[in-house]
Amino acid sequence: MLTKSQAKAFFIVGTAAFSAIFIGLTVDTFQRIPAQTKSQDLTEEVIRGKHLFDSKNCMGCHTIMGEGAYYAPELTKVYERRGEAFIKAMLKDPEAMYPGQRKMTNYHLNDQEINDLAAFLIWVGKMDLNGFPPKPDLIKVASPEADGSSVGEEAIVKNINRPQVFNQMCIACHKLSGQGGEIGPALDGVGSRFDVQYLTTWLKDPMSIKSDSKMPKLPLSDEEISELAAFLSTLKEKK
């Protein structure tokens, strides 16, 4: 059992030691912040986007870096999940991207505001947050069948060879191999129904082929359209 003087000394030494550790960790954290937050990329565009994010009360529905509401999707890594084109398309007209499905308000942002908000979300998405938030398993390259066996090597290869823009944008509305959204038709076998030329025209402007199409004209580059059309044309019906 400690005497009063020993207990006092233990308290003083322990408090001083742990205070020093706490101060050291705090200093170390502040030294790491510039590199981990990519402060060199904090442009005027990003700053304007942050102010716009706050003024529109985006955290009233979305969560970012662990703060906000859980009504709408988490946005910390939205750039990694969806890409710049998808972000800008959603900000321009949420209803066009998800007809009758989305409740996100259309703020009627101008092009500069859309670019600013996208720049802010891209900057946040590139931060080193020590693994936060954990990556969701959005696209499994192999899933167990009913009999306990796994999906074959062919399915794994198809998933690996998917264009990035497909995984970021198309899969949000369409299913492929049972994975993805349900707003548009499944894309399994689409290459057996349509050739590359048709798919290219459709991706450039769906309404030029079908005037009442619910699929919006996506902000895709010519390179992305060519890549997507080539990929979709390989999705043949199994015989």
Instruction: Please check whether residue 100 lies inside any domain of the structure.
Output: yes
Looking at the 3D structure of the chain, how many domains does it have?
A: 2
Instruction: Please check whether residue 165 lies inside any domain of the structure.
Output: yes
Instruction: Please check whether residue 181 lies inside any domain of the structure.
Output: yes
Same domain, 96 and 49: yes
The neighbour count for residue 25, using CB atoms within 10 Å, is 10
Q: What is this structure's pTM?
A: 0.70
Same domain, 164 and 218: yes
Per-residue pLDDT of the chain (239 residues; tens, 9 = 90+): 778 888 989 999 999 999 999 999 999 989 998 999 888 999 999 999 999 999 999 999 999 999 999 889 999 999 988 889 889 989 998 887 877 776 788 999 999 999 999 999 999 999 999 888 887 654 443 333 434 444 444 443 445 578 888 988 898 889 998 888 888 899 999 999 999 999 999 999 998 999 888 888 888 889 999 999 999 999 998 86
One-letter amino acid of 170 = C
Instruction: Please check whether residue 26 lies inside any domain of the structure.
Output: no
Instruction: Give the CATH number, domain containing residue 159.
Output: 1.10.760.10
Helix (H, G, I), strand (E, B) or coil at 191: helix
**Structural domain span for residue 55:** 42-125
Smallest CA-to-CA distance from 191 within 231, 140, 223, 134 is with: 231
Pick from 75, 107, 125: which residue ends a domain? 125
Helices (H) and strands (E) in the chain, counts: 10, 4
Instruction: Please check whether residue 99 lies inside any domain of the structure.
Output: yes
